[in-house]
Amino acid sequence: MSVLIKICGLSSPDTLDAALDAGADLVGFVFFEPSPRHLAFGAARALGERVRGRAQKVALSVDADDEWLATSVEALKPDLLQLHGQETPERVAAVKKKFGLPVMKAIAVEQKSDLAAIAAYAGKADRLLFDARAPRAATRPGGLGKSFDWRLLENLQSAGPFMLSGGLDAGNVAEALRITGAPGLDVSSGVERAPGEKDPDKIRAFIRAAREAATANARKVASNA
């Protein structure tokens, strides 16, 4: 079982390089002003150029209008748009059509009934991202270091391509993969020394732990076949 790994909320050349050198499949950049990981468009342009095809670039926004999305797309030239707010299935489809880019839609999860959203976004989003539902008083919908009950995703058959997010770090990623069998992992706060400040050592440790866990799971599946 291979696993896609996304390091999100990158904002400096050294941490971007750490993610790329360690083998991240996707690198995420946040365009949402309330977030400590928010990236100015000029900085995004420079970091985007630094990627040079070594990973897919992801532009994260939260309930953004077309003008904001267009500016972020022009700056970063992303491979994928991540919509992390309350965007409806219709809005997801409209964004995908307007910008000609695949879209990953975040789904906030707290209880089993939250997974009903999977059907609503089928055929609209190219990929889903399951993240812990933010507390009511939170100023942003993700990147809070909060996990949800991963058992809700056990034996999930109907989601199509998806990523697991929320509270992941090098210490728990093996357990997360064992329970969910997630084909993709998205981490932000779990590789930081402070909110918005990525730690290169934690980035490398997370990617190493995730790869090792995915390999171990694949071996177990093969031995049981």
Read off φ and ψ for residue 61, nearest 5 degrees. -140, 165
Could you give the dihedral angle defined by the CA atoms of residues 9, 168, 137 and 154, in that order, rounded to the nearest 10 degrees?
130
pLDDT at 199: 98
Residue 160 banded pLDDT, cuts 50, 70, 90: confident
Residue 137 banded pLDDT, cuts 50, 70, 90: low
Q: Read off the pLDDT of each residue in 35-53 and give the average, rounded to a whole number.
A: 97
- In Å, how far are 109, 120, 142, 196, 197 from 116, measured between CA atoms? 10, 7, 20, 32, 34
pLDDT at 219: 82
pTM for the model = 0.93
The rounded distance, in Å, linking the Cα atoms of 129 and 62 is 14
Assess contact for 62 and 140: CB atoms under 8 A.
yes
Residues with Cβ within 8 Å of residue 194, at least 6 apart in sequence: none
Q: Read off the pLDDT of each residue in 21-32 and give the average, rounded to a whole number.
A: 98
**pLDDT at 221 exceeding the cut of 60:** yes
β-strands 192-194, 184-187 pairing: unpaired
- Average pLDDT of every residue of the chain: 93
- 56-74, pLDDT tens digit by residue? 999 999 999 999 999 999 9
